[in-house]
């Protein structure tokens, strides 16, 4: 079965093909005979209730510097011309991102959007995890500075991070007596009106922040992201180092806790972050780590995902 696949992502010519999960998804789709189109989110439009994308047909190659061959731009009707949309642009999870989910919601599930755009909108990574009591370290979400000071007084060392950021951007550790809390809160307020997250610091982060990939609620595998010496952020894009790791009994327990809700919401491709015994985030926008997982373990999460997508389409979903 050949599918028509549109990939909504950041500019494809600027990606690192050694680490980019979207590229692995596209390579896998192409190897199965699926036809690919590429477009950036700003090329998505809605007119008279129909959704269109100004997109380019694309072929991808495992060749650095020449990894994408783009064709002439065409206007795609996202309901009639496309079978599957991969919504893969990176955060920030801002109003432009939210608007794109509203557009794509109009074509899903007639056109299968991965992940379900309404549920992507309703499940921001750092908020969604709070639906599962007991899995997180102590966590406060607020814009009330006094509440944050009270939280630090009760928990000591904390991590402060933006609610709708991604890739480790804006994440900082504050010791119990750190004098910079006011300054950091002022910086967050200058950037936007969104609340921030204060979370009790988990010392186990020095051993790594585990990324577990799940397809339709089932764990596929994991990698460990180890922060650079003296750093608290383990995200690969800010200097973290990836290494092989096994899934523990606790990891599997956490996956089992969240799996029914992932399935119910149509969140087919998800990456969770686990530090020690705690689940810290459920990433549904543009989860990464599949390239490193394949490199370390041979497990191809993109293959598992496309098996599931093809099954859904074959059964009328």
Residues serving a catalytic function are: 126, 161, 211, 225, 233, 273, 281, 283
Residue of 6, 25, 3, 10 lying closest to 78 (CA atoms)? 6
Query: Binding site for ATP: which residues?
Result: 152-208
Note the residue count of the chain: 317
CA distance 90 to 189: 22
Query: Binding site for Mg(2+): which residues?
Result: 281, 283
Chain position carrying tokens 């595998």:
221
If phi > 0 it is left, if psi is from -120 to 50 it is alpha, else beta; for residue 74 that is beta
What order do you get walking across the sheet with 196-200 strand by strand?
139-142, 196-200, 158-162, 172-174
CA distance 300 to 183: 44
């Amino acid at each position: 079965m050949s599918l028509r696949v549109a990939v909504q992502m950041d500019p494809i010519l600027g990606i690192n093909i050694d680490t980019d999960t979207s590229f692995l998804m596209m390579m896998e789709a192409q190897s199965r005979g699926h036809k690919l189109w590429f477009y950036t989110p700003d090329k998505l439009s809605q007119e008279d209730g129909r959704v269109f994308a100004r997109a380019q047909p694309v072929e991808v190659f495992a060749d650095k510097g020449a990894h994408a061959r783009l064709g002439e731009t065409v206007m795609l009707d996202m309901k009639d011309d496309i079978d599957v949309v991969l919504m893969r642009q990176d955060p920030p999870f801002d109003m432009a991102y939210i608007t794109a989910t509203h557009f794509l919601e109009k074509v899903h599930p007639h056109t299968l959007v991965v992940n379900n755009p309404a549920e992507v909108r309703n499940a921001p990574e750092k908020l969604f995890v709070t639906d599962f009591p007991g899995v997180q370290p102590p966590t406060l979400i607020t814009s009330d500075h006094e509440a944050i000071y009270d939280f630090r007084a009760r928990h000591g060392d904390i991590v402060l991070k933006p609610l709708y950021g991604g890739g480790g951007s804006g994440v900082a550790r504050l010791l119990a007596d750190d004098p910079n809390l006011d300054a950091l809160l002022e910086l967050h307020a200058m950037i936007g009106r969104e609340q921030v997250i204060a979370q009790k610091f988990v010392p186990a982060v020095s051993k790594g922040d585990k990324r577990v990939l799940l397809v339709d609620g089932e764990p596929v595998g994991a990698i460990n992201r180890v922060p650079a010496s003296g750093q608290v952020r383990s995200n690969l894009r800010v200097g973290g180092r990836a290494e092989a790791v096994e899934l523990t009994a606790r990891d599997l327990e956490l996956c089992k806790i969240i799996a029914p809700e992932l399935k119910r919401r149509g969140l087919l491709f998800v990456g969770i972050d686990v530090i020690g015994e705690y689940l810290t985030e459920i990433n549904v926008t543009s989860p990464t780590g599949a390239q490193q997982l394949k490199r370390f373990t041979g497990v191809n999460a993109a293959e598992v995902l496309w098996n599931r997508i093809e099954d859904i389409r074959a059964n009328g979903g």
